[in-house]
A = this chain, B = another copy of it.
Amino acid sequence: MKLICTQENLIKALNVAEKIVGRNVNLPILNNILLETDDGQLKLSSTNLEIGLNYWTRGKIEKEGSLTVPAKIITNFVMNLPKKNIEIEVKNETLNLKCENYQAKIKGVSAQEFPIIPKIKEEPLVILPAEEFKNAANRVISSVAVSETRPEITGVFMKIEKDNLTLAATDSYRLAEKKIKLQKPVQESISMIIPRTTINELIYIIGENQGELKISISQNQILFNFNNINLVSRLIDGQYPDYQQIIPNSFKIKAIIKTAELKNAVKIAGFFTNAQVSGIKIKLDLPTNKIKVNAETGEVGASNSEVEAKIEGDSVEVIFNYKYILDALNNMLTDQVILEMNDSSSPVLLKPENVKDYLYLIMPIKTE
């Protein structure tokens, strides 16, 4: 392999490819990035066996070929080079790089030993602005279950039906759901569970870049194509819980509050919780139109905050895990937020004011 590319193009590709690379002691080749010439371009590939990435970047190919080299060392080296052309050449399973007065020889491993990244040839099922998908994913991902006891909730649920794409995530204590309108309706509805790490990678890859995101499905694999990048991932087997049935159809109590004010009160209350006591008390006080946020632990002390609100229905007192309500409020993005509930033991709904495509449901902590 022999080619010339610019430092700027190569480091952009390496930074994306390097993120997938795992630290696999049993299979050290997974720490490597595969560089190969492909149809007049330089193709970089990396995989952790769950996710595979292909990144095509421009280069002047002088001789076809391939080699895998440790991701960290090539990325570090290229990152510190001047923004000039880099000459790349493979000799004796060693990658030779030259850029102005800097040279490196990086020992590699043959491309034959690199795992095959599955190819998905299916036509895209949906095409949408990548930024829109990224923003939606960002608002559900924190609700994905961390524990592996129920594998089916360790991913983001995606449902595509007519002109709706829905992303949802739950850890069984709280649930976040975001809907996106598609330009073109799909023929058949489909749903799947995408691993959390895949969604995280995709969020990172899209970053602040613009472009179309094309999503294709093949059996238990999903392909995200974004500009010159392909991200292939396995899907999670299993039946996602029918979360719609736990969202109450009607609510007796409703409050409208300034998001920032409630967030600050909850944040402060959080300091007065500990590993044993994670609950904070939120009281909707109908007569005074105030929300009282209270936390108390024996060893630390107590905090009490009051936030003005517009309350309808009744007074009620609910105990929340403060992390869940803080996360919900961080995802609201509007100046005012709506809280809806029926009593102190059934799910509480949070949604941004005047926004219909996002909701966050929290199960209260039961009082003894």
- Chain A positions within 8 Å of B, measured between CB atoms, are 70, 73, 76-77, 80-81, 94-95, 101-107, 264-265, 267-268, 271-272, 299-307
Contacts and interface: CB of A to CB of B under 8 A. Distances in A.
Contact of A307 (B95, B101, B271, B302): B101
13 contacts: A70-B300, A73-B271, A73-B300, A73-B301, A77-B303, A80-B268, A94-B301, A101-B306, A101-B307, A102-B303, A102-B304, A102-B305, A106-B301
A106 B296 CA distance: 10
Nearest to A304: B103
A305 B101 contact: yes
Contacts of A302: 104-105
Q: Chain copies in the assembly? A: 2
A110 to B, nearest CB: 16
B265 A102 contact: yes
A305 B80 CA distance: 12
A299 B109 CA distance: 12
A104 B268 CA distance: 9
A164 to B, nearest CB: 39
A73 B267 contact: no
Contact of A107 (B80, B265, B299, B305): B299
A180 B215 CA distance: 64
Given A268-B102, A306-B101, A107 B77 contact: no
Given A76-B268, A102-B303, 7 more contacts: A70-B300, A80-B268, A102-B265, A103-B304, A103-B305, A104-B304, A107-B301
B77 A268 contact: yes
A334 to B, nearest CB: 21
A89 B207 CA distance: 49
B303 A103 contact: yes
A135 B105 CA distance: 40
Closest A-B pairs by Cβ, 6 of them: A106-B301, A101-B306, A104-B303, A76-B271, A103-B304, A105-B301
A155 to B, nearest CB: 34
Contacts of A77: 268, 271, 303
A298 to B, nearest CB: 8
A264 B80 contact: yes
B73 A272 contact: yes
Contacts of A94: 301
A105 B271 CA distance: 12
A139 to B, nearest CB: 24
Q: Among A81, A104, A306, which residue has the most Cβ atoms of chain B within 10 A?
A: A104
Q: Among A80, A104, A299, A301, which residue has the most Cβ atoms of chain B within 10 A?
A: A301
A299 B72 CA distance: 13
A306 to B, nearest CB: 4
A102 to B, nearest CB: 5
A271 B75 CA distance: 10
Contact of A80 (B80, B102, B267): B267
Contacts of A101: 305-307
Nearest to A295: B104
Contacts of A299: 107
